[in-house]
C-alpha cells in the first residue's frame, strides 16, 4: 500500500491473536504497522510482532525492489513493534538503528544486543536526512513507555505517531474507528493523559497531512476529528452525554434495581444509558464507557465487609487510569451490614473532581417501596 509516492506500508495483520497484551479481547485481530520511506537513503519505521518475521522481511524486500535499507528507526520498544530488530539487523548488515537512549537500554534488556557500532541515538529536535525527506524526532515519554518518540517527515507532512492514534483491529476488517480506538486508548494509554496532552501541543506546531500509527489505519482525512477525540480523552473530559450503570448482583436484587433505574432514566429523558454487568461483560468495554460518559452509577453488594470482587476490579481499573471529572451515583446492597458505599467512596478518594449524587440508595436485601422512590429520585437527578 502506498501512503505517499515515497512512503510504503509494509506492516502485517494478525488474526491469530485472542488477547492483546494478555488481557484485551480483539475479535477483529490486530495490525502491526511498519513503513518504508524510500529516498536516496531508505528508512524502515519500526518492526512487527515476532510471529510475523518472515512476512515482514518479505514485505520489506518487495517494497524496496532490490535496494537495501539504510536505517531502522525504532520509535517504541514494546515487543509487538521491536521483536524483529535482530532479524532485520542480521538481514541488512549495513543498516543502522536509530532510537532514543532509553530505547537502546531496553534493547539490551529485551534482546541482549547493543549494536554499539551500528546505532544513532537521537533526542528531541534531532533530524535525519534521507535526501528529499528530512525526518525530525519528537520525544513522547510515557505515551505510553518512557523511550517513545514520534517522527515527522517535513516533505510529505507525515507524522509517524508510534502507539498514539492506534486502535484494535486488523486492517483487512471494516469497523468504526472511534469505538476500538477509544477502548485501545483508555485501556493502554489512559493513565498518561498529561503526557498525551504534551505531545498534542508539540504536534500542533506541525503541519500534518497524514498520521501513520503503529496500530490501526493510516489517517488522512478529517484529522481534526481524530485529534479532537484524543484531546477529549487525554484531558478526561466528557465525550458523550449519558449515564453508565456498572453493577454486580448475586441473587438478582441489585440487578432489579439497575433495571428499574435504567427505565426511570429513559423516562426522565436520558438519551443514552449504558448498562454493564461486570461479572459478564468485557471489562475493557465497561471501562471505556466509564470514561466516555459524564455520569456513572456504581451498584454492588457488600461482600466480606468489602465490595463484590468484580466491582473492586472495575474501580481499580478506573483509578489506575486517572478517573476524574465525573458525577457518581451509588447503590449498595447488604443483608445485615452494608459497607459498599463507604468502600466505593474510599476507593475514589484520590480521584479528582468527583461529585457524588445527593441521592444514595441502600438496599437491605430486596427492593423496598422506599428504594423504588429513591431510584426515581436518582434518575431525575442524573437525567
Could you report the per-residue pLDDT of 15-68, keeping only the tens digit for each? 999 999 999 999 999 999 999 999 999 999 999 999 999 999 999 999 999 999
Domains of the chain, by residue range, sit at 7-234, 240-382
* 321 pLDDT above the threshold of 90: yes
* 357 pLDDT above the threshold of 90: yes
Contact call for residues 328 and 357 (beta carbons, < 8 A): yes
- Show the cell assigned to 237: 473530559
Q: Quick one: pLDDT at residue 335?
A: 87
Q: Quick one: pLDDT at residue 163?
A: 96
Q: Quick one: pLDDT at residue 1?
A: 85
* 382 pLDDT above the threshold of 90: yes
**Mean pLDDT of the 338-348 span:** 95
Q: Quick one: pLDDT at residue 305?
A: 86
**Mean pLDDT of the 179-191 span:** 96
Range 240-382 classified under CATH 3.30.470.20 = no
Q: How many percent of the chain have pLDDT more than 70?
A: 100
Rounded to whole angstroms, the Cα distance separating 10 from 47 reads 9
**Mean pLDDT of the 170-190 span:** 95
Could you report the per-residue pLDDT of 187-208, keeping only the tens digit for each? 999 999 999 999 999 999 999 9
Mean pLDDT of the chain: 96
Peptide bond into 345 cis (omega under 30): no
Whole-Å CA distances, 311 to 245, 278, 303, 325, 357: 12, 7, 10, 20, 19
**Mean pLDDT of the 270-291 span:** 96
Q: Do domains 7-234 and 240-382 have the same CATH topology?
A: no
Q: How many percent of the chain have pLDDT more than 90?
A: 97
**Mean pLDDT of the 72-96 span:** 97
Could you report the per-residue pLDDT of 1-11, keeping only the tens digit for each? 899 999 999 99
Q: Which of 361, 383, 381 is nearest to 372 (CA)?
A: 361
Q: Quick one: pLDDT at residue 184?
A: 97
Q: Quick one: pLDDT at residue 41?
A: 98
Whole-Å CA distances, 330 to 280, 310, 348: 20, 16, 12
Confidence at 250, pLDDT banded by 50, 70, 90: very high
Q: Quick one: pLDDT at residue 124?
A: 96
* 337 pLDDT above the threshold of 90: no
Could you report the per-residue pLDDT of 104-127, keeping only the tens digit for each? 999 999 999 999 999 999 999 999
Could you report the per-residue pLDDT of 136-164, keeping only the tens digit for each? 999 999 999 999 999 999 999 999 999 99
Contact call for residues 343 and 369 (beta carbons, < 8 A): no
* 79 pLDDT above the threshold of 90: yes
Query: Kind of pairing, strands 19-20 and 127-129?
Result: unpaired
Cα-based angle 337, 309, 339 (whole degrees, multiple of 5): 20
pTM of the model: 0.92
Q: Phi first, then psi: what are they for 168, rounded to 5°?
A: -75, 160
How would CATH label the architecture of 7-234?
A: 4-Layer Sandwich (3.60)
Amino acid at each position: 500500500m502506498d501512503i505517499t509516492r515515497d512512503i510504503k506500508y509494509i506492516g502485517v495483520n494478525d488474526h491469530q491473536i485472542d488477547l492483546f497484551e494478555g488481557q484485551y479481547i480483539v475479535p477483529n485481530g490486530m495490525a502491526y504497522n511498519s513503513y518504508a520511506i524510500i529516498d536516496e537513503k531508505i528508512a524502515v519505521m519500526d518492526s512487527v510482532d515476532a510471529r510475523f518475521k518472515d512476512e515482514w522481511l518479505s514485505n520489506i524486500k518487495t517494497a524496496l525492489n532490490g535496494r537495501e535499507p539504510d536505517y531502522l528507526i525504532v520509535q517504541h520498544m514494546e515487543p509487538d513493534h521491536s521483536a524483529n530488530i535482530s532479524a532485520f539487523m542480521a538481514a541488512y548488515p549495513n543498516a543502522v538503528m536509530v532510537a532514543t537512549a532509553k530505547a537502546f537500554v531496553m534493547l539490551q534488556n529485551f534482546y541482549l544486543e547493543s549494536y554499539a557500532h551500528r546505532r544513532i541515538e537521537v533526542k528531541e529536535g534531532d533530524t535525519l536526512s534521507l535526501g528529499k525527506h528530512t525526518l525530525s524526532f519528537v520525544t513522547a515519554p510515557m505515551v505510553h513507555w518512557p523511550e517513545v518518540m514520534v517522527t515527522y517527515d517535513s516533505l510529505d507532512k507525515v507524522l509517524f505517531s508510534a502507539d498514539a492514534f492506534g486502535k484494535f483491529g486488523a486492517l483487512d476488517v471494516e469497523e468504526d474507528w472511534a469505538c476500538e480506538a477509544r477502548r485501545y486508548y483508555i485501556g493502554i494509554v489512559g493513565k498518561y493523559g498529561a503526557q498525551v496532552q504534551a505531545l498534542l501541543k508539540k504536534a500542533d506546531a506541525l503541519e500534518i497531512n497524514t498520521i501513520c500509527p503503529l496500530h490501526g489505519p493510516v489517517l488522512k482525512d478529517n484529522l481534526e476529528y481524530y485529534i479532537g477525540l484524543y484531546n477529549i480523552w487525554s484531558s478526561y473530559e466528557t465525550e458523550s452525554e449519558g449515564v453508565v450503570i456498572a453493577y454486580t448482583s448475586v441473587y438478582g436484587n441489585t440487578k432489579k434495581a439497575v433495571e428499574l433505574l435504567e427505565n426511570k432514566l429513559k423516562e426522565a429523558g436520558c438519551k443514552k444509558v449504558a448498562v454493564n454487568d461486570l461479572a459478564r461483560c468485557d471489562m475493557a468495554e465497561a471501562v471505556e464507557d466509564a470514561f466516555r460518559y459524564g455520569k456513572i452509577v456504581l451498584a454492588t453488594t457488600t461482600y466480606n465487609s468489602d465490595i463484590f470482587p468484580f466491582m473492586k476490579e472495575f474501580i481499580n481499573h478506573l483509578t489506575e487510569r486517572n478517573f476524574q471529572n465525573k458525577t457518581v451515583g451509588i447503590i449498595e446492597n447488604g443483608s445485615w451490614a452494608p459497607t459498599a458505599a463507604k468502600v466505593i467512596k474510599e476507593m475514589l478518594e484520590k480521584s479528582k473532581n468527583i461529585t457524588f449524587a445527593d441521592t444514595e440508595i441502600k438496599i437491605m436485601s430486596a427492593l423496598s417501596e422506599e428504594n423504588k422512590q429513591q431510584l426515581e429520585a436518582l434518575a431525575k437527578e442524573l437525567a
